A and B are shown apart, each in its own frame.
Chain A
Amino acid sequence: MTRKQKRGVMIGGGVAILGLALILVLFALKDSIVFFHTPSDIVEKGVPAGQRIRLGGLVEQGSVVRGQGTTISFKVTDTLKEIPVSFTGVLPDLFKEGQGVVAEGVLDGNGEFKADTVLAKHDENYMPRDVAKALEAKGVKLGASAHPGQLKAEMP
């Protein structure tokens, strides 16, 4: 092979790999990303049932009900609207009424949110940034302790 041909092989290989990666990335972005919504978003915009989303807000005071086995139901609120959530599993350490929470899952036909993952952040002062921002955008005043400015150090 001549020098040019060799270079051609190299460049061809590189372009092929990059192209493959690009296709993978585009497909993955189409299929596997999850949108974040607040309860008001869901009520106002209407999120189709069955679409995988993240729901963020505060756990409504007094709404946590521990049912049979490990199924737990509670309501996520942004103080304007609330969405009932059911979850089977073990809640994270910092799951508490009145605290910020992010649940991932799908809405069923009746407006209930079936979560398969519940995230509560690892600090009592901490409200997930998305939640804090979304709530502020809705005009909900947060106490100083709920501001991300209060975040504590985590793993570097």
Chain B
Amino acid sequence: MIVELGHFALILALLVAVVQVVVPMFGAAIRDERMMRVAEPAALSQFLLIALAFFALMHAYVTSDFSVLNVAENSHSTKPLIYKMAGVWGNHEGSMLLWVLILALFGAAVALFGNNLPPTLKARVLSVQASIAVAFLLFSLLTSNPFLRLDPAPSDGRGLNPILQDPALAFHPPFLYTGYVGFSIAFSFAIAALIEGRIDAAWARWVRPWTLAAWMFLTIGIAMGSWWAYYELGWGGWWFWDPVENASFMPWLAGTALLHSALVMEKREALKIWTVLLAILTFSLSLMGTFIVRSGVLTSVHSFAVDPARGVFILAILVLFTGGGLALFALRAKDMQAGSLFQPISREGSLVLNNLLLVTATATVLVGTLYPMALEGLTGEKISVGPPFFNMTFGPLMIPLLIALPVGPLLAWKRGDFLGAMQRLSLAFLAALVAVVAVYAVEHRGPWLAPFGIALGVYVMAGAVIEWASRVKVGSAGLDEIARRATNLPRSAYGTLFAHFGVGMLVVGIIATSAYREEHILAMKPGEKVSVDGYDVAFTGVERARGPNYSEDIADFAVTRNGAAVARLQPSKRLYDAPPQPTTEAGIHASWRGDLYVVIGDAQPGGGYAVRAYFNPLVRFIWLGALIMFLGGGISLSDRRLRVGAPSRHRLAAPVPAE
């Protein structure tokens, strides 16, 4: 009954979304307050209905109701509870349901917290948001219905792919989706504003918190996916330039650009056209990511079931929204007033550079992702575009971006003092220089550019701190004054500090790991030893063990350093019961210096095992950096300035709360 109720709720949500598209949009056109107001209860009930459907499906998973086709195909009665729950989005239909749930969540959030918006804008935003929901609810119900039933029910399910049975992966999709579906709000704001014909600095302020929230979750979602790939796939790699990774990375790059250009638009009312265009493009990239992942056009470890009907449907959605959005943009852009003026060397100028580089980088990733598909479609020739392509194209674009990153915030709006900024950054240059020397002193291996890469990261980190320090007048004010200033500084300034510092850490981690990773692949017998970056790793033996739904061979490695015991690593090879599929579990010893990472492979004739042992220096900086960026976003989001706007409609004349 609960399942059927969920199915009905999903259908009702579709109808509610249709009402939410039509009535408020019409109301805004004829300036009818009552019809516009329909958007709010509609958005809220649409969200609650989809949530009901979602939890009904989850209930079916938890109770292993195999009369639901989706559960039978993707779950198994012996799976641990957490993976039964996570199993809801571990498959195509369920993940589309999660997609629309998050879409509706953002709509409901605008309905609830968007009291500062002009009524017509709010009605139109919710209407556009609902139109996306209509498209995806239709997609879900017509081509990917998770509520199809099976009668008679099979005795047990087919199981969830074991490599997905992992805590990081269980929670990675919700974060990731919150991220890239969240950009739908920016899109809806852009379309609504284009329809409304009024785009000004205030609009940018309203869009920013939503963009920031989406960006935050996308950041942490991508980081979790990378973390999962690192320790679960057993290759010790953390990023593969896989098309599905790119699918989430492109909206992130464009979203980062949007975040920065919206800042310019809010402060200076410049870059209006550009910002609106970016808002449309960012969500279009999210849609394209959904298309790439969901339609099965890819050869990828991430591919879902291939079903041409689905591919065509999502492609139609993509074309409709991207094409429609861009057409509307083309119609309206020329009516927009030109923005304010600024010199090339200025805060705005640096942000324009940031945008140019980020968007160009997005374009290179896009080419690398789509080119193989296009080529195969046109000529039938099959190629693969791997990391070398992206390292050659994406990498060089990041260098000027990172060099410019600490400079921008030190420049004033309108007309910046470049020399002054350089002077203030002198400490950062010094830190970078020290880093180059230090890296050369410690490591002689690796490409000659690597120390400079690490220095670049150090420079970005130092630059972020210097910017903060100059704001609180470290060096020119007393301690009391510094403390006072530090507490008075708006939270968004701390957000910038964290986010930029995180970028620096990320760069250090990426370069260090890529350039100085130590790798050993060898056959080992119990009793044998291998030396990895100063660690002595001794293979003591293999034992067989039984988990809740798998059996495993656990290898035992005693790790010592200069004779002192450091850790025991127990990498294993698991064989899951349903589906019967092997997975590799890595044994990882983490420290600040880096990760010692050991995996075992096949048993070899003669009692040996193939063993891969890595030392990945500073690899944790990658995820730590991403986490700090995420926190920076959160701190910035909590800045009350982002929430300020009109008081609620009932207190029209009330003054804005005093600071």
Contact = CB atoms under 8 A, between A and B. Distances in A.
A1 interface: yes
Interface stretch (B131-139, B353-361, B447-455): B353-361
Contact of A155 (B160, B302, B364): B302
B299 interface: yes
A10 B164 CA distance: 47
Name the interface size band of chain A. 35 or more
A13 B344 CA distance: 10
Interface string A1-42: 101001001100110011011001101110111111000000
B161 A153 contact: yes
B605 interface: yes
A129 B244 CA distance: 15
Contacts of B302: 154-156
B344 A28 contact: no
Contacts of A89: 521, 610, 612
A152 B353 CA distance: 43
Interface centre among A3, A18, A121, A152 (most CB of B within 10 A): A152
A33 B169 contact: no
B452 to A, nearest CB: 19
Contacts of A97: none
Contacts of B352: 10, 13
B605 A66 contact: yes
B388 A66 contact: no
Contact of A130 (B169, B299, B356, B579): B299
A88 to B, nearest CB: 7
A34 B299 CA distance: 14
Interface centre among B169, B176, B303, B305 (most CB of A within 10 A): B303
A32 B299 contact: no
B301 A122 contact: yes
Interface string B158-182: 1011011000010011001100000
A109 to B, nearest CB: 24
A66 to B, nearest CB: 6
Given A36-B384, A122-B161, A148-B306, A153 B392 contact: no
A69 interface: yes
Interface in B204-227: 225
A70 B384 contact: no
Interface in B334-368: 341-344, 352-353, 356-357, 360-361, 363-364, 367-368
A91 interface: yes
Interface in A107-148: 121-124, 128-130, 134, 148
A90 B601 contact: yes
Contacts of A29: 367, 371, 385, 389
A1 B343 contact: yes
A149 B360 contact: no
B602 interface: yes
B187 interface: no
B78 interface: no
Interface string B84-96: 0000011110010
Contacts of A156: 89, 95, 173, 176-177, 244, 293, 302, 304
Nearest to B89: A156
A21 B368 CA distance: 12
Contacts of B522: 69-70
Given A90-B612, A130-B299, A154-B304, A21 B521 contact: no
B423 interface: no
Interface stretch (B24-32, B427-435, B541-549, B581-589): B581-589
The 7 closest A-B pairs by CB, nearest first: A90-B601, A32-B388, A36-B382, A28-B392, A153-B91, A93-B582, A24-B393
Given A21-B361, A29-B385, A70-B522, 14 more contacts: A10-B344, A24-B364, A24-B397, A25-B367, A25-B368, A32-B385, A91-B602, A91-B610, A123-B581, A149-B306, A153-B90, A153-B91, A154-B300, A154-B303
Interface of A: 1, 3, 6, 9-10, 13-14, 17-18, 20-21, 24-25, 27-29, 31-36, 54, 66, 69-70, 88-91, 93-94, 104, 121-124, 128-130, 134, 148-156
13 contacts: A1-B344, A18-B363, A20-B396, A20-B397, A21-B360, A69-B523, A70-B521, A70-B610, A93-B583, A94-B581, A152-B158, A155-B164, A155-B169
